[in-house]
Amino acid sequence: MLHTALQYWGGGFYLLNKICFSRAERNKGSRKRVWKIRAWTVYLIGLPAWVIILVAQDNFIAAAAEIGGGPAMTLGLFLALRGQEEKPTWLKLFDIFSIGVAATAGTLYSVHFIGGITEFNQVLEFGIVLGFLTGTVMLAKNNPTGYLWFLLMNGSNAVLQFHEGVHFLAIQQVISLVFVADAYMVERREARNQRASTPSPVT
């Protein structure tokens, strides 16, 4: 019963996170900031449940990466509540640093606990971390390709949860793929429109 409640808690709020980020990409100015505030808020609400589930499944690499994203999300939410619409450069770098350090620590502990990289689940966890970290780096550079890396993250997590028999979370991750793909297409179209509207240099 408790495990089921954690699934609904973590899965539901993480799905809302993807929906809110998708809506943020479809808005501008203050409306975009409002949707990002909602996205960061629901992420932080769902984070404890996801960490508990992942640790209970011995998915220490993925759990550590999730924990690493928490401080950056908290700072992003704090700045957005103060009226800042976009993350400053220092916070984007902090995102990358905190996720990278946490994922490294999780990997070392996983290797120690399991006795090496010997399980299929660990490979899937590397897919989650690679997608999460690379996607964060790309989006920090305002490169919409970052969302494609998030597809790797969600896809790897979906396979991981299905492999471990947590079907509700597997389905949630698959649905999340739709909203991540939508955010990618909107961001790519916006970038293309900006390039088209930029005057060509006079030669």
- Name the DSSP class of 165: T
What would the pLDDT profile of 86-139 be if each residue is shown by its tens digit? 777 887 888 888 888 998 999 999 998 888 888 899 999 999 999 998 988 888
CA distance 10 to 41: 13
Both tokens of residue 65? 């990466």
Return the CA Rg of the chain.
Answer: 17
**Whole-number pLDDT of residue 156:** 95
pLDDT digits (tens, 9 = 90+) for 43-88: 999 999 999 999 999 999 999 999 988 888 888 788 878 877 677 7
Read off the tokens for 72. Answer: 């950056």
| Whole-number average pLDDT of the chain | 86
**99/61 Cα distance (integer angstroms):** 11
Q: Tell me, what's the pLDDT at 203?
A: 47
